[in-house]
Structure 1
Amino acid sequence: MQRMMWLTFGALLQGLAMAVFLFPHHIPSGGVAGIAILNDYFFDVSLGLTLWTMNFGLLLLAINKLGKQTALWTIYCVAVTSIVVGWMSSHVTSPLNGTLIDVIYGAIIFGTGVGILFRFGASSGGMDIVALILANWTGKKPGSILFLINSFILLGTSLTLGLEIIIFAFICQWISTRLIDFVRTVSLKKTAKPFM
């Protein structure tokens, strides 16, 4: 029950960051969404098809490499985040602050949320799965791996999006991925050790 509560809280934070602080400024997250943008731009493949295909494939990879339990918790967290984003996006229709301020707030909340998911044996899906697998394989921090993956994808999406937006996206990634690693490993009293 404690694990479910923490994962729900982490997914809520992630959804809050996306819907309230990042999406109103159209800040791209990199990851699967970034690949979908590139596929649409270069090969005219619909965004939805790429998102569904890649996420399904990555989920199968999670089952194989991270275990069924991690995959099931990931599905749960993705569902919670999606519900939060859907509900909050309908209520937050314009940015709360300037872009830089919202990006910083959003990155802090997002990184904390995903860090909690990683700490308690889940992920937010997409490239997080790849980062966790590579982290288990190499011994590197998953947040650092995620930053590298998303940086390459963001460089690609800079061909289709404005440079200013990409710079803000890099700032968001830099802050959030460092928080992911911090939250995942920080030692707190009465808190379980990281599951992954």
Structure 2
Amino acid sequence: MNVVRKGTILGIAASIQGLAMAIFLFPHFIPSGGAASVSVLLNYLLHVPFAITLWVLNASLLLAAVKWLGKENALWTMYCVTVTSFVVNFLNSHLIGTVSFIFVDLLIGSILFGIGIGILFRMGASSGGMDILALIISKLKGYTPGKTLFFINGSVLLLTGIVVDLKIILFALACQFIGTRILDIICQVEFKRSLNRLENQ
């Protein structure tokens, strides 16, 4: 596929994911995945700064991505992580408060989150964190990426909820369930011819 076209599609998908997190999920303190939950857990138990945990975890998984998924995938993942982070930081600095009730925001945010990450997975990239691990496992074992990601994130979220705050983690599990179902639909369904042509170029 043409690099510019692929970069544009991945950039849009990463932006959708960032929008879902910044506007609909984070204002309610709903973790978007396992990596965020690990940072919350380690900060709560060992007072490890969030940024350090996220950096070490993402760096380790990116190295795994290079080995198991190839350098190209790792580079695209770094690109997607950068775009998502930029969108989240930009929106967080310009938006105050929540959009709607938590259940409405949870539903909208989860759907958008699933669409964004689904396109990334479909294009052979990820948004970092546990997404990389899910992509590796799904590639090696043939499992659907959505179910794999839900199992990984769900396990970490459940552990974090038991230790820290079960109520918020239940919302996070709901987000993961909805988002990963959307992810699997996007990865399995046949796209329109135009998108299929882009993938095969």
- Considering the TM-score relative to the shorter chain, is it more than 0.5? yes
Aligned residue number for residue 48 of structure 1: 51
Which residue type is aligned with residue 195 of structure 2? T
1:97 aligns with 2:100: yes
| 1:29 partner SS | coil
- What pairs with 1:32-181 in structure 2 (closer than 5 Å)? 32-181=35-184
What is the CA distance between 1:160 and its match in structure 2? 4.4
- Counterpart-to-counterpart distance in 2, 1:103 and 1:26: 11
Which of 184, 191, 196 is the matching residue for 1:192? 196
Higher helix proportion: 2
Which residue type is aligned with residue 181 of structure 2? R
Q: How many residues align?
A: 195
Is the Cα–Cα contact under 8 Å of residues 116 and 183 in structure 1 kept in the other structure?
yes
- Counterpart-to-counterpart distance in 2, 1:155 and 1:64: 29
Q: Sequence identity of aligned pairs in percent?
A: 47
What is the CA distance between 1:142 and its match in structure 2? 0.8
Is the Cα–Cα contact under 8 Å of residues 29 and 150 in structure 1 kept in the other structure?
no
Which residue type is aligned with residue 83 of structure 1? F
Residue range with higher mean Cα deviation, 88-97 or 29-38: 29-38
What is the CA distance between 1:157 and its match in structure 2? 1.2
| 1:192 partner SS | helix
Which residue type is aligned with residue 196 of structure 2? A
- Counterpart-to-counterpart distance in 1, 2:196 and 2:77: 18
The root-mean-square deviation of aligned C-alpha atoms, in Å, is 1.5
- Counterpart-to-counterpart distance in 2, 1:19 and 1:30: 13
What is the CA distance between 1:46 and its match in structure 2? 2.4
Gapped runs of 5+ residues in structure 1? none
Which residue type is aligned with residue 191 of structure 1? L
- Counterpart-to-counterpart distance in 1, 2:118 and 2:135: 12
| 1:187 partner SS | coil
What is the CA distance between 1:162 and its match in structure 2? 3.0
What is the CA distance between 1:41 and its match in structure 2? 2.1
- Counterpart-to-counterpart distance in 2, 1:3 and 1:64: 22
Is the Cα–Cα contact under 8 Å of residues 107 and 172 in structure 1 kept in the other structure?
yes
What is the CA distance between 1:181 and its match in structure 2? 1.2
Q: Deviations over 1:135-187 (max 9, x none)?
A: 01111001100000111111111134433212211111000001111112221
Is the Cα–Cα contact under 8 Å of residues 10 and 113 in structure 1 kept in the other structure?
yes
Aligned residue number for residue 19 of structure 1: 22
- Counterpart-to-counterpart distance in 2, 1:104 and 1:182: 16
Which residue type is aligned with residue 77 of structure 1? C
